[in-house]
Every structure is written in C-alpha cells, then in structure tokens.
C-alpha cells in the first residue's frame, strides 16, 4: 500500500471512530474503568466516622493527634490492545474483513482512552509477538497505532493467543485495562488468561463471520486455510461437512466464553457483518451499572 492510500485510510478511520468516541464511547469508557486503582493524595485530621484503618500512625504520633491518609482515584490508566494479526483475520464474506473491524474497534477504544488522558499501547501477535508499541499518550501516538493496524504485515499467519497473554503479563507490572481482539480460533490460552486476569482488567472481543458458523450449500468449491495456505476442494452441500463446520465453531465459541468467564474477565462476540457500536456500548453500560 502506497503512502497516499495509507494516509487516506487512516483519515477515514479517524473520522469514523473519533465521532463514535466523542459522542458515544468516551463517557461510557470513563464510567466503566474509573476508580480501578487508588493513589495516596494527602493526610488530614481524623473526623468522626472516618475509617480507623486509614489512620497514618506516624503522622499522628508526630502531631499528637489522629490523622488519616486520603486517597483518590488514579485517573491515569493504561489501555493495552492485544491484536490478533494471524491469517484468519483476512476473512469476510459480506461487509468487511475481520481485520478491518478489529482496526475500527481498536481505533474507537484508543480515541476514547486518550480523551480520558490515558496511555495506549498495542501488542500485535500471531503465533508469536510480532510487534510491541509501548503505551503512550496523545493523538499522534494513536494515529501511529491506526497506521500500523492498517498496514502491518506479520511474519507468521498462525495463532498462539497464550504467547501474547504471557508476554503482556511479563512486562505490564502495574494494573492495566487490556482488550484482546481476535477470532479466538485457538484452544490453548486458558491458563495464561487466568494468570493475566488476576491482576489486570481483561476483556476478550471475539470477531467472527457468519460463514464460519454456518456454511452455505454451494456445491464443490476450493477452500483455502488462511493460516496454513493449504487449498482443498470441499463439498459444501454435504450435511456432514456443514455439521463439522458448526461443531468446530461451537467448540471455539464455548472455549472462549468459558475461559473468560472462569477467569473473571469480560467477553463479547461481534459478527463482522453487524455494527459493533451497539454491542460495545451495551458492554460498557453493563460494566458501569
């Protein structure tokens, strides 16, 4: 993709997603994630009804009267986007590719975060960590993230979600907000997710295409595995083949929902042929209720 075309795409996504973040998501984002940590602010004299556990005994001893520690919400948060860039993202049968929807969701979340004066970082992963953009603030940084989301070419087309989760846990010591965006066509990430979710606020966003859940009867057609590159002729009218497709989708879906639920993490599934705005907004409202 040449520079001019890339900049046009960045601009289109910026206009669309900033409108969503400005008018819809920024307030919901703040309500959903504020107050996740508390930072020391000052000490003041103890008053009737104050929690005695907040008494600062050192200050109280020096001044010969009780003082308590006052804490306030940590306003500056870190948002990390863990983005699946494996080959299966290059699939979409009607409106857009899964990768394109993931890009728009990431941009919306990033603009919402910078309006809240938060840092935003990204981990691009396939079956390895392909690229790490450390958390930073500002519009320029967010536009860089969008450019990378549009134009990034991974070295591998395979998937290993656990590898990305372990990398995140190893470097992010302070509590952070983490969104994992993928089609979750993987079955070996539960243990890594549970470790990550013990400390961080984690949400999984599964992006899928309807044809991954229900295969239409089109007769015998060539089908290419986006992660291995292998091509096979498949009889899509076969009841057995259609059943196998449904079972495989249900297996990945069940593993995704159970893994995030048991880990105490949030999760939602979005059909690539539908609007993500309504579902994402509903998720934020549910969290802040």
DSSP symbols for the chain:
--HHHHHHHHHHHHHHHHHHIIIIIHHHHHHHHTTSSEEEEEEEE--TT--GGGB-HHHHHHHTS-EEEEEEE----EEEEEEE-SGGGS--SSS--HHHHHHHHHHHHHHHHHHTT-EEEEEEESSSEEEEEEEE-SHHHHHHHHHHHHH---S-----HHHHHHHHHHH--S--EEEEEE----S--HHHHHHHHTTSEEEEEEEE-HHHHS-----EEEEE-TTT--EEEEETT-HHHHHHHHHHHHHHHHHHHHHHHHTT-EEEEEETTS-HHHHHHHHHHHHH-
Residue 237 in this model has a pLDDT that exceeds 50: yes
pLDDT above 70 covers a percentage of the chain that reads: 91
Tell me how far apart the alpha carbons of residues 130 and 256 are, in angstroms, rounded to a whole number.
23
Residue 260 in this model has a pLDDT that exceeds 50: yes
Contact 182, 99 (CB under 8 A): no
- Mean per-residue pLDDT for 269-281? 90
The residue written with tokens 């996740």 in the block is 36
Mean pLDDT estimate for the chain: 86
C-alpha dist (Å) from residue 82 to 8, 14, 76, 132: 25, 20, 20, 9
Residue 255 in this model has a pLDDT that exceeds 90: yes
Residue 35 in this model has a pLDDT that exceeds 50: no
Q: Domains for the chain: give ranges and CATH numbers.
A: 3-33+75-210+250-288 (3.40.50.410), 38-73 (no CATH)
pLDDT digits (tens, 9 = 90+) for 100-150: 999 999 999 999 888 888 899 999 999 999 999 999 999 899 999 999 999
**Single pTM value for the model:** 0.82
Tell me how far apart the alpha carbons of residues 73 and 88 are, in angstroms, rounded to a whole number.
40
pLDDT digits (tens, 9 = 90+) for 44-62: 888 887 878 888 888 888 8
pLDDT digits (tens, 9 = 90+) for 60-92: 888 888 888 766 555 578 999 999 999 988 776
Tell me how far apart the alpha carbons of residues 146 and 60 are, in angstroms, rounded to a whole number.
52
Contact 127, 182 (CB under 8 A): no
pLDDT digits (tens, 9 = 90+) for 137-186: 998 999 999 999 999 999 999 999 999 999 999 999 888 999 999 999 99
């Amino acid at each position: 993709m040449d520079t001019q075309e890339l900049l046009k795409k960045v601009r289109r996504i910026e206009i669309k997603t900033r409108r969503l973040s400005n008018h819809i998501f920024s307030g919901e984002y703040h309500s959903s994630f504020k107050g996740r940590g508390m930072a020391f602010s000052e000490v003041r004299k103890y008053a009737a009804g104050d929690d005695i556990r907040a008494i600062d005994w050192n200050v109280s001893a020096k001044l010969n009267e009780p003082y308590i520690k006052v804490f306030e919400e940590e306003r500056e948060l870190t948002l990390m986007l863990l983005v699946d860039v494996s080959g299966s993202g290059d699939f979409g049968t009607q409106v857009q590719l899964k990768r394109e929807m993931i890009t728009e969701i990431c941009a919306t979340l990033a603009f919402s975060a910078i309006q809240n004066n938060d840092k935003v970082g990204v981990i691009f992963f396939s079956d390895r960590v392909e690229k790490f953009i450390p958390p930073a603030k500002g519009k320029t940084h967010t536009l860089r993230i969008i450019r990378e989301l549009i134009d990034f070419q991974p070295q591998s087309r395979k998937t290993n979600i656990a590898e990305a989760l372990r990398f995140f846990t190893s470097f992010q010591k302070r509590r952070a907000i983490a969104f994992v965006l993928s089609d979750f066509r993987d079955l070996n990430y539960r243990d890594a997710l549970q470790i990550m979710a013990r400390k961080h606020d984690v949400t999984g966003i599964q992006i899928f295409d309807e044809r991954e859940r229900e295969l239409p009867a089109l007769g015998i057609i060539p089908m290419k595995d986006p992660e291995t590159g292998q091509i096979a002729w498949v009889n899509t009218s076969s009841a057995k083949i259609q059943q196998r497709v449904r079972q495989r989708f249900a297996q990945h879906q069940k593993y995704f929902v159970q893994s995030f639920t048991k880990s105490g993490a949030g999760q939602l599934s979005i059909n690539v042929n539908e609007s993500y705005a309504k579902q994402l907004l509903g998720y934020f409202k549910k969290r802040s209720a």
